[in-house]
Structure 1
Amino acid sequence: MTSIDLNADLGEGFGRWRLTDDERLLSVVTSANVACGFHAGDAATMRRVCELAAERGVRIGAQVSYRDLAGFGRRPMDVPPDELAAEVAYQIGALEVFARAAGSRVAYVKPHGALYNRVVRDEEQARAVVDGVVLADAGLPVLGLPGSRLLELAGKAGLPVVPEAFADRAYTDEGTLVPRGQEGAVVTGTESVVARSVGLARHAEVDACSGRRIEVRARSLCLHGDTPGAVDLALRVRAALEASGVRVEAFV
């Protein structure tokens, strides 16, 4: 039977402000990308999400980012490689404290936002992220875009790599994500997202923004927790996957 992991970005609040419905999403997904305080999240939020994830048997992942609370980690930044590696390790370490306190552990790492897109092609920044992961835990799997420099360098460093796909993001013909600043970058129609999810899981294919069908082979499928109606959409996606014969389970 075909299987796929379902991940979502969680803990993306700060102080009294909450963006994601963490508790409800954790009843649907199998892996939680937890914000580690650099683009969103704070100590209390990280602790709460780790406790909820551990209770539900959901894998905890460190969603590492550029240090950019004001821009939600979506602004391009130039960070020296040594500094970026240290900041990646720092974020993983902070989340690990709360994961272990909850009886779990950090099970993988996934870059967020501008950093995620940067390490698709930028070898220097990708290598810095890999160095940071190795510094924190040389056995942690890394989630990223198939064919990215990040996954290539992570594999060479001996880290397990997990290619992921996005049901609610538009793709270019080259298999990269359409930048958020461009019209149509985020797919919002429920039926479209559900159909794309099943197509990606069962056939490793998705329609690019040009209309061309491209191959995207992934072990994990991401749904963004900050989109309108995120919980209901996630429920629909999981139900459709299971109804089509896809087993939804964590990759680790």
Structure 2
Amino acid sequence: MKLNCDLGESFAAWTMGLDEQVMPHIDMANIACGFHASDPNILQQTLALAIKHKVTIGAHPSYQDLVGFGRRSIKHTEREIINLMHYQIAAIDGMAQSMAALVKYVKPHGALYNDMMANDDIFIAVVKSINDYYRPLKLMILATANAEHYQKIANDYGVELLFEAFADRRYTDQGLLTPRSEPGAVLNKDQVMEQVKGLVNDGVVITNQGNRLSLKADTLCVHGDNLDAIALVKDIKALCQ
């Protein structure tokens, strides 16, 4: 199972994450495009890191919300969502091509990601933005128990999906992430390793109710925002090889 990580989320003099340390251990980099984080210099530096380590490049667009780090929902029309997606994807795509690289997929960030998984109208707008882009791109979404529903919508627009699971989050019986406000929503190291083993070997997770839930996942989301997280990514990588 391939590992993906949200990267390039620094901005000007403000540093977010340990991109240089985590990049050698992942397969896919979801790189911020400027609306929730990043700037032209950070974007170039992150792309250069991904190219150096032969990591697949993905666009990580969001609502236009630098102050809120893209974690606040903003009401938009369908056309506005398509436009904000194209604006950000085109920015990273153009810069990547100038560096002899290509963006291969898109993973929305933060509130936009959560909203598209909770609201079919927003999901359809995101899918349309991928379909309307000038060349094919894959769309990364949350692997849930309702994967067939999202697959059908994507198929209607000819968009290929990548389903991602989370290494460090407890799932509900519905295949959604347990809210962080609830106890046990974020797993400790031992629990992370057990969940990764279950996903890699059997395609299952244990839910917050103690039940086994089958999840179709193409990729596993990991984090690289501190030294402990980097060490954990190395251990997860060893399990996934």
TM-score by length of 2: 0.92
Q: CA deviation at 1:150?
A: 5.0
Please name the residue that 2:219 is paired with.
220
CA distance in 2, matches of 1:159, 1:29: 24
Aligned counterpart, 1:195: 194
Aligned residue number for residue 238 of structure 2: 239
In structure 1, distance between residues paired with 2:40 and 2:47: 11
Structure-2 residue corresponding to 1:16: 13
Query: 1:54-93 residue pairs with structure 2 within 5 A?
Result: 54-93=51-90
Aligned mate of 2:36, from 39, 53, 77: 39
> Contact conserved, 1:204 with 1:215, CA < 8 A, in 2?
yes
Report if aligned partners of 2:18, 2:226 keep a CA contact under 8 Å in 1.
no
Rounded to whole Å, the distance in 2 between the matches of 1:182 and 1:98 is 41
Residue 102 (structure 1) aligned with residue 99 (structure 2): yes
Q: Secondary structure at the match of 1:61?
A: strand
- Between 1:145-154 and 1:120-129, the stretch displaced more is 145-154
Q: Is this contact kept in 2: 1:62–1:108, CA < 8 A?
A: yes
User: In 2, Cα distance between the equivalents of 1:7 and 1:214?
Assistant: 22
Counterpart amino acid of residue 13 in structure 2:
R
The aligned residue for residue 116 of structure 1 is 113
Q: Quick check: 1:53–1:59 contact (8 Å CA) kept in 2?
A: yes
Tell me, in whole angstroms, the C-alpha distance in 1 between the residues paired with 2:119 and 2:226. Answer: 28
Cα drift, residue 68 of structure 1: 1.5
Which has the larger displacement, 53-62 or 129-138?
129-138
Spell out the pairing of 1:179-190 with structure 2 (5 A cutoff): 179-187=179-187, 189-190=188-189
Q: For residues 61-117 of structure 1, give each alpha carbon's deviation from its aligned partner in whole angstroms, at most 9, with x where no partner exists.
A: 001111111111122222221111100111100111221122211000011111111
For residues 226 and 111 of structure 1, the distance between their equivalents in structure 2, rounded to whole angstroms, comes to 19
The one-letter code matched in structure 1 to 2:233 is A
Higher share of residues assigned helix? 2
Tell me how many residue pairs correspond in the alignment.
238
- The aligned residue for residue 170 of structure 1 is 170
Higher RCO structure, 1 or 2 (CA under 8 Å, sep 6+): 1
Whole-angstrom distance in 2 between the partners of 1:206 and 1:137? 37
Superposed displacement of residue 15, structure 1: 0.8
Q: AA paired with 2:142?
A: L
Instruction: Say if 2:2 and 2:240, in contact at 8 Å, map to a contact too.
Output: no
- CA deviations over 1:9-55 (Å, ceiling 9, x no partner): 00111111111111111100000000111111111111111111011
- Using the alignment, how far apart are the partners of 1:205 and 1:37 within structure 2? 35
TM-aligned CA distance change 1:228 to 1:78, over 3 Å: farther
Moved more, 26-35 or 149-158: 149-158
Q: Percent identity among equivalent residues? A: 37
Q: Distance in 1 between matches of 2:186 and 2:152?
A: 26
1:150-205 Cα distance to aligned partner (Å, 9 max, x none):
54422221111111111112211100112334443322x11211221121122110
| Residues 39, 227 of structure 1: alpha-carbon distance in 2 compared, 3 angstrom cutoff | farther
User: 1:137 & 1:228 partners in 2: Cα distance?
Assistant: 39
Q: Which runs of 5+ in 1 are unaligned?
A: 243-252
1-structure distance, mates of 2:179, 2:63: 17
TM-score, normalised by the number of residues in structure 1: 0.88
1:160 aligned partner: 160
1:48 counterpart residue number: 45
Opposite residue 184 of structure 2, the aligned amino acid is G
